[in-house]
Amino acid sequence: MTAPATTAVAPAPEVTNAPAKKKIVPRKKRKLSAANEAVVAETPVALMPGPAEVGVNDVNVRGQASLKGEVIAHLHQGDAVTVLEQINLRRHKANEPAQWAKIAFPTNAYAWVNAKYIDATSKTVLPKKLNLRAGPGENYSVVGLIERGTPVSEISNKGNWMEIEPPTNSYAFVAAMYLKQEALAAAPPSAAPPAETAPAPAPVAEARPVVTEPTNAPAPTEANAVPVPAMETNAPAAPAE
């Protein structure tokens, strides 16, 4: 009688609770965008009231001199703006601009007023002073004031609020470092106009010796005749109708 054949059984794998080893991947250094780099390394800016030019592309125009101010428009490189004044914040958050330019309200944005304070017939302001806001609600920034009797140009309505064309005294804010006035400041002063000089006197013909001409001398022809210059006068020309 032969013994039954035995089958070898592989040992069961050892089970442990040890976590699998994670592959360590070196973290890449985060690159800041040009705008963020400019905020971190903000250089002093001194803007004067007057025209300025946007120096970078796609700049946010806000309702307040802060990054928490709502964005009401965008400006692009080369766009012209009018600086009203520069505002330097004493307290501001990290990586937030401390220098802001208060500018005239951009032409590509619209302002809002509470419609119940606008006369429905004449479209004029009823109260003594009315806030002009950057959006349809009291939670939006105030971007100007309009006085009683001021006419408004209605564009649209949203609930109790009316969208109007911004008046000339409305304003907004943009980070001052994105504006430049170097071209204006570096422009040489306009040269003084040259002093007017008196016109040169007409040449005087030299005296000729008196020569007795024969009585039968031919009369001077048109080609030989000396033209008499017309005298200039200071009389103004008659105005055109």
Map out the domains of the chain with their CATH numbers: 42-107+170-181 (2.30.30.40), 110-165 (no CATH)
pLDDT surpasses 70 at 66: yes
Weakest mean pLDDT among 110-114, 137-141, 182-186, 230-234: 230-234
β-pairing, 129-133 vs 80-88, is unpaired
pTM (2 decimals)? 0.59
Strand order in the sheet with 80-88: 71-75, 59-62, 171-175, 99-104, 80-88, 50-54, 179-180
**pLDDT tier at 95, thresholds 50, 70, 90:** confident
* Percent over 90 (pLDDT), the chain: 50
pLDDT number for residue 205: 38
What average pLDDT does the chain have? 75
Q: What average pLDDT does the segment 139-151 reach? A: 95
Lowest mean pLDDT among 98-102, 105-109, 171-175, 207-211: 207-211
Cα 151 from chain centroid (whole Å): 26
The answer to whether the CB of 143 falls within 8 A of the CB of 105 is yes
